[in-house]
Chains A and B, each alone.
Chain A
Amino acid sequence: MATALLDQPAPHDAGRSATDAVVVRFAGDSGDGMQLTGGQFTLSTALAGNDLATFPDFPAEIRAPQGTLFGVSAFQINFGSTEIDTAGDAPDVLVAMNPAALKTNVDALKPGGLIIVDTGEFTKRNLEKAKYAVSPIDDGSLEKWQVLAFDISALTLEAVKPFGLGNKEALRCKNMWTLGLALWMFDRDRKPLTDWLNGKFAKNPVLAQANIAALNAGHAYGETAELSGPLKQHHVAAVDSAPGLYRTVTGAEAISLGLVAGAQLAGLPMFFGGYPITPASAILHNLVRYKEFGITTFQAEDEIAAICSAIGASYAGQLGVTSSSGPGIALKGEAMGLAIMTELPLVIINSQRGGPSTGLPTKTEQSDLYQAIYGRNGDAPLPVIAARSPSDAFECAIEACRIATQYMTPVMLLTDGYIANAAEPWKVPDPASFAPFPVTYLTTRNGEDGELLPFKRDEKGARPWIKPGTPDMMHRIGGIEKAIDTGHIDYSPGVHQTQTDARKAKVDGVASGIPAQEVTLGTTSGKLAIVGWGSTYGPIHQAVRRARRRGLDVSQIHVRHVWPLPANLGDLLRGYDKILVPEMNTGQFKTVLRDQYLVDAHPLTKTSGQPFTIAEIHAAICEALGAPIEGEFGGEVDADTTQLPSIKAVNP
């Protein structure tokens, strides 16, 4: 997409008006407050009525050594007056707070894009840390971009001088100075920011005033500097949205809220057992504050205790929920098997990150699909749902609660590091628009002659939920194979065959209780289907939209229920000549589709810890259809060196 920030028209105008959408990336030291700056810029963008998507990209180290390449923290936002589904392939503007931030991010910038750098940080020492022999500002290496280099550090110190802060504290206001400049560049109201600063520093008004002064100084600098040089003010119009109340939401927030809603719709108190792990912890942080909704949170001693306590709570009649990321999910595997065997409701959330092992704790990946669907000992099926965006995670969390309680089964909800941290505008839903699914407990004996049958299945194959504490309903459950209906220990051959089949049939049967798979964009048959799941939704959607606008016969099918799959999916897929499955792993969903439907699904894979770019998927569409990639559409954005090129997996 074209940049709004150039004096001259963009070299590859994609046909949009110049102010349709803008991508800005803030990058600095992990201690520079870039995530905070980005978060506040996001809020101001949302309040201005733009559609947006963000991509926080930060190192695993909390405070990596200052000035180092590996310590750079970045926040990218794509906002515009049209539908925005991704954080943008390549930034139009890069704000680099030090040489390391410049070095690690500049190659992502579009040709002709604008670089704003703080020369105050371009010291000999910092240049050395960033492995620059000569300052890039002086050696002409940045000539394909426009560079705005000035001493933000000095300007900040000057702005906050009246408040008598120490040098270190004063320099901490740099991010607010930068934010002030960004607010000016995009014609934004400063009031929400000053309100926020006053609230944040309520106990230290001097700091609030200093930060506001820095913000105002950055804003004033923009006004003054506009007269000369590349800095221009731009107005990005509000997007056309459905009327209603909006807010921004991250995936972690949406899941937390969805769980609260799900528990309410089920009419249950919720128990959340968790153990700190990146990037899943935010859900526990949120839920601990919602006590009035009947939520008990428990920070367990480990991942295993977290899920076991949640199963214990489900056994006792609450909605048990646990959450983790890949390594923690691996530890929970045995307990999931017990929940499957004892047929208790449970919601398990996996905020996926790069693996295996510790892998990439703060980066995103979709490589836990096999783990979710298959990753337990024995024949241990459980339903798996995948959220496609932060706001979609709300509905998915409700759906997970519904299936868990209606079918008496653990359900896994997959999100990933990208969805968990990214923010987007969200039309606040009306809780009344969701159909309640109240649970009932069995309180009287259900067999003939007053016999109690804890494992007597209903038409869905679900067993009754009996709470301990119910008089005259005492019974024992456990992980050992059990007799039909009575649940007594029984591992005779016929019983295990029957129960294995029954557990499988129950989970397979979930497919008849979920919506049929729809074509997300395009037609119900044709030359090419792009089949995705999870957070690849945004880039796939944009790429398919771009290709269809160009006249290519390509459709998007995005699957929420990845296990069991929607009942019509096989027939739907057979209506296309080709099937391409982009995913951030080595081709896991592709294999599932091949296995289930014997269709010739092809993989498009990426495991760099970065989301797909639109261009990457668009290029794959063109290749699959034999259409030229270069041209009016799609060729304007090349995959850059900070986003490693996709590896096209060789089909096994």
Chain B
Amino acid sequence: MNDMTPIAKFPTTLKDWETDQEVRWCPGCGDYAILKAVQRTMPEIGADPAKTVFVSGIGCSSRFPYYMESYGFHTIHGRAPAFATGIKLANPELDVWIVTGDGDGMSIGGNHTMHLLRRNLDCQIMLFNNEIYGLTKGQYSPTSRVGTTSPTSPGGSVDRPALPCAFALGSGARFVARGFDVSKELPSVLKAAHAHKGAAFIEIFQNCIVYNKDVFNDFAAPKGAEDRQLWLQNGEPMVFAKGTKGIALDAEKLTLTVVDVTDGDWQAAGVIVHDVTNRSVAHMLVELPFGPFPMALGVIYDDPRPTFEAAVMEQNRVGSVGKKPDLAALLSKGQTWTVDGEHHAG
């Protein structure tokens, strides 16, 4: 989002955001659902296609800009955040979306992801996490779970996976959210990300139907979803399983714990209310092990701070106040001397 003050909404429809390009993802890929969710979100937030830029790196997800009828820059592997930084500093009016994946954003481009987040560049960064390298044909990725078999790990991968949301918080992100490809809630998560002024990090679990099929089914499958998904709402109690369970703080161990909620009395069960500005709880939520706990989804953390580009623009302004861009004066700055036939110091 570009400004704290509400801007006039630019009227578009979902169709206006579709390009004439043939979409080249595998049939059934989760990316299709994410593309639709984004195209659905754009009219709702009143985005102007001419002022919207999608920037991506390399990988399946990074083909995304070709399918959005806005400005788009498909760059090089892992570096989309760096391009986005230059774009935003050159024109802060632009609404910048970064599309990356677990390999692009957490492996080869992990450094840039970290620095974009700590600087707090105003943009949305969507990390499509399918826990695999898709475009290079199925090697295990930095988010693959231990034991993932792949062409480069026939005996199962042995490295521990990175947690993108924990990485983002650790890098200083002021907005961290989670969703998944086919979730109906994804547009509302994207809208919240867009409403956040600053770097908004969204991890989107995405099903790679060819190389890592249904790896998120444990929580993403519709059947029994209520028991395995904790949808976080600011100001609302952290309940799930149709209100029969909740998340409470174990004050002794200083950890979160699952409690039973009887007759909807979540207060009696000690269930905590989600406060999107509580950084400590956010750290605990992104680290919750799935299995004993449900998957924490939605807006996990949202507490804006001044943005990088605003600070840079302000320094540029202050540094220019009362100064004329007088090149002749700049060239002759410092100690000079004049030669006029006779030599003398001046």
Residues on A facing B (Cβ under 8 Å): 43, 46-49, 189, 192, 238-239, 241-248, 257, 260-261, 264, 269, 271, 273, 289-294, 296, 298, 300-302, 304-306, 308-318, 320, 334-335, 337-338, 342, 428-431, 467-480, 488-489
| B75 lies within 8 A of A309 (CB) | no
A300 and B21 in contact, given A428-B332, A431-B328 (Cβ under 8 angstroms): no
A473–B83 CA distance with the chains assembled, in angstroms:
20
A298–B119 CA distance with the chains assembled, in angstroms:
12
A61–B332 CA distance with the chains assembled, in angstroms:
33
Q: Is B252 an interface residue (CB 8 A)?
A: no
| A478 lies within 8 A of B65 (CB) | yes
A468–B55 CA distance with the chains assembled, in angstroms:
12
A315 and B82 in contact, given A246-B336, A291-B316, A477-B73 (Cβ under 8 angstroms): no
Contact residues of B between 308 and 331, Cβ < 8 Å to A:
312, 315-316, 319-320, 323-325, 327-328, 330-331
| B327 lies within 8 A of A313 (CB) | no
Among candidates B53, B84, B345, residue contacting A189 with C-beta atoms closer than 8 Å = B345
| B91 lies within 8 A of A316 (CB) | yes
A470–B83 CA distance with the chains assembled, in angstroms:
19
Which residues in B have their C-beta under 8 angstroms from that of A260?
Answer: 327, 330
Interface string of B108-122 (1 = CB under 8 A from A): 000110110000000
A201–B317 CA distance with the chains assembled, in angstroms:
29
A312–B115 CA distance with the chains assembled, in angstroms:
16
Residues on B facing A (Cβ under 8 Å): 19, 21, 49-51, 53, 55, 65-66, 69-77, 79, 81-91, 93-94, 111-112, 114-115, 312, 315-316, 319-320, 323-325, 327-328, 330-341, 343-345
Among candidates A238, A305, A480, residue contacting B343 with C-beta atoms closer than 8 Å = A238
Which residues in B have their C-beta under 8 angstroms from that of A298?
Answer: 85-86, 89, 312
Among candidates A264, A308, A317, residue contacting B82 with C-beta atoms closer than 8 Å = A308
Among candidates A302, A469, A474, A489, residue contacting B111 with C-beta atoms closer than 8 Å = A302
Residue of A nearest to B336 (CB): A247
A467–B338 CA distance with the chains assembled, in angstroms:
44
Q: What is the distance, in angstroms, from A372's C-beta to the closest C-beta of chain B?
A: 20
Among candidates B86, B332, B343, residue contacting A311 with C-beta atoms closer than 8 Å = B86
9 smallest CB-CB distances across A and B, nearest first, come from A312-B86, A478-B74, A291-B319, A238-B343, A309-B86, A308-B82, A49-B343, A476-B72, A316-B90
| A428 lies within 8 A of B331 (CB) | yes
Residue of A nearest to B325 (CB): A293
A488 and B21 in contact, given A291-B316, A308-B82 (Cβ under 8 angstroms): yes
A309 and B325 in contact, given A192-B335, A244-B339, A301-B115 (Cβ under 8 angstroms): no
Q: What is the distance, in angstroms, from B99's C-beta to the closest C-beta of chain A?
A: 12
| A308 lies within 8 A of B75 (CB) | yes
Among candidates A48, A429, A470, residue contacting B50 with C-beta atoms closer than 8 Å = A470
Residue of A nearest to B70 (CB): A474
| A246 lies within 8 A of B91 (CB) | no
A291 and B65 in contact, given A257-B330, A335-B76, A338-B75 (Cβ under 8 angstroms): no
Q: Can you list 22 A-B contacts with CB-CB less than 8 angstroms, sorted by A residue number?
A: A47-B345, A49-B343, A243-B341, A246-B339, A247-B335, A261-B327, A264-B325, A273-B86, A290-B330, A292-B320, A292-B323, A293-B325, A293-B327, A294-B325, A296-B316, A298-B312, A301-B112, A305-B82, A315-B73, A320-B86, A428-B336, A488-B21
Residue of A nearest to B62 (CB): A478
Which residues in B have their C-beta under 8 angstroms from that of A312?
Answer: 55, 73, 82-88, 90
| A313 lies within 8 A of B50 (CB) | no
6 more A-B residue pairs beyond the given contacts A309-B89, A428-B332, with a C-beta to C-beta distance below 8 A: A257-B330, A305-B81, A309-B86, A430-B328, A469-B91, A479-B74
| A315 lies within 8 A of B87 (CB) | yes
| B325 lies within 8 A of A48 (CB) | no
| A478 lies within 8 A of B73 (CB) | yes
| B91 lies within 8 A of A468 (CB) | yes
| A305 lies within 8 A of B112 (CB) | yes
Q: What is the distance, in angstroms, from B48's C-beta to the closest C-beta of chain A?
A: 8
| A479 lies within 8 A of B65 (CB) | no
A473 and B50 in contact, given A292-B323, A305-B85 (Cβ under 8 angstroms): yes
Q: What is the distance, in angstroms, from A396's C-beta to the closest C-beta of chain B?
A: 16
A318–B87 CA distance with the chains assembled, in angstroms:
9
Q: What is the distance, in angstroms, from B135's C-beta to the closest C-beta of chain A?
A: 12
Which residues in A have their C-beta under 8 angstroms from that of B49?
Answer: 474
Residue of B nearest to A300 (CB): B82
| A296 lies within 8 A of B312 (CB) | yes
| B325 lies within 8 A of A292 (CB) | yes
A320–B86 CA distance with the chains assembled, in angstroms:
9
| A477 lies within 8 A of B330 (CB) | no
Among candidates A291, A306, A471, A479, residue contacting B315 with C-beta atoms closer than 8 Å = A291
| A313 lies within 8 A of B89 (CB) | yes
Q: What is the distance, in angstroms, from B84's C-beta to the closest C-beta of chain A?
A: 6
Among candidates A246, A338, A470, A472, residue contacting B76 with C-beta atoms closer than 8 Å = A338
Q: What is the distance, in angstroms, from B159's C-beta to the closest C-beta of chain A?
A: 23
Residue of B nearest to A304 (CB): B79
Which residues in A have their C-beta under 8 angstroms from that of B82?
Answer: 300-301, 304-306, 308-309, 312
Q: What is the distance, in angstroms, from A407's C-beta to the closest C-beta of chain B?
A: 20
A476 and B71 in contact, given A309-B85, A311-B86, A312-B83 (Cβ under 8 angstroms): yes
| A47 lies within 8 A of B337 (CB) | yes
Q: What is the distance, in angstroms, from B46's C-beta to the closest C-beta of chain A?
A: 15
Among candidates B74, B340, B341, residue contacting A480 with C-beta atoms closer than 8 Å = B74
Which residues in B have their C-beta under 8 angstroms from that of A305?
Answer: 79, 81-82, 85, 111-112, 115
Q: What is the distance, in angstroms, from B106's C-beta to the closest C-beta of chain A?
A: 16
Which residues in B have their C-beta under 8 angstroms from that of A269?
Answer: 90
Residue of B nearest to A312 (CB): B86
| A334 lies within 8 A of B330 (CB) | no
Which residues in B have their C-beta under 8 angstroms from that of A476?
Answer: 19, 21, 65-66, 71-74
Q: What is the distance, in angstroms, from B65's C-beta to the closest C-beta of chain A?
A: 5
Q: What is the distance, in angstroms, from A310's C-beta to the closest C-beta of chain B?
A: 6
Residue of B nearest to A394 (CB): B331
A296–B341 CA distance with the chains assembled, in angstroms:
41
A318–B335 CA distance with the chains assembled, in angstroms:
32
Q: What is the distance, in angstroms, from A95's C-beta to the closest C-beta of chain B?
A: 23
A476–B327 CA distance with the chains assembled, in angstroms:
37
Residue of A nearest to B324 (CB): A292
Q: What is the distance, in angstroms, from A375's C-beta to the closest C-beta of chain B?
A: 16
Q: What is the distance, in angstroms, from A91's C-beta to the closest C-beta of chain B?
A: 25
A316–B52 CA distance with the chains assembled, in angstroms:
12
Which residues in A have their C-beta under 8 angstroms from that of B69?
Answer: 474
Which residues in B have their C-beta under 8 angstroms from that of A473?
Answer: 50
Residue of B nearest to A310 (CB): B86
Q: What is the distance, in angstroms, from A398's C-beta to the closest C-beta of chain B?
A: 11
Which residues in B have their C-beta under 8 angstroms from that of A478?
Answer: 65-66, 72-75
| A468 lies within 8 A of B335 (CB) | no
| A429 lies within 8 A of B338 (CB) | no
| A308 lies within 8 A of B86 (CB) | yes
Among candidates B77, B88, B324, B337, residue contacting A49 with C-beta atoms closer than 8 Å = B337
Among candidates B325, B327, B338, residue contacting A246 with C-beta atoms closer than 8 Å = B338
Residue of A nearest to B93 (CB): A469
A271 and B89 in contact, given A473-B50, A476-B71 (Cβ under 8 angstroms): yes
A251–B296 CA distance with the chains assembled, in angstroms:
56
Which residues in A have their C-beta under 8 angstroms from that of B333?
Answer: 247
Which residues in A have their C-beta under 8 angstroms from that of B327?
Answer: 260-261, 264, 293, 431
Which residues in A have their C-beta under 8 angstroms from that of B344?
Answer: 49
Which residues in A have their C-beta under 8 angstroms from that of B325?
Answer: 264, 292-294
Most chain A CB atoms below 10 A, which of B81, B320, B340, B343: B343
Among candidates B71, B114, B323, residue contacting A468 with C-beta atoms closer than 8 Å = B71
Among candidates B71, B90, B316, B336, residue contacting A475 with C-beta atoms closer than 8 Å = B71
Residue of A nearest to B51 (CB): A469
A472–B55 CA distance with the chains assembled, in angstroms:
19
| A474 lies within 8 A of B87 (CB) | no
Which residues in B have their C-beta under 8 angstroms from that of A292?
Answer: 319-320, 323-325
Which residues in B have their C-beta under 8 angstroms from that of A310?
Answer: 86
Which residues in B have their C-beta under 8 angstroms from that of A471?
Answer: 50
A479–B84 CA distance with the chains assembled, in angstroms:
16
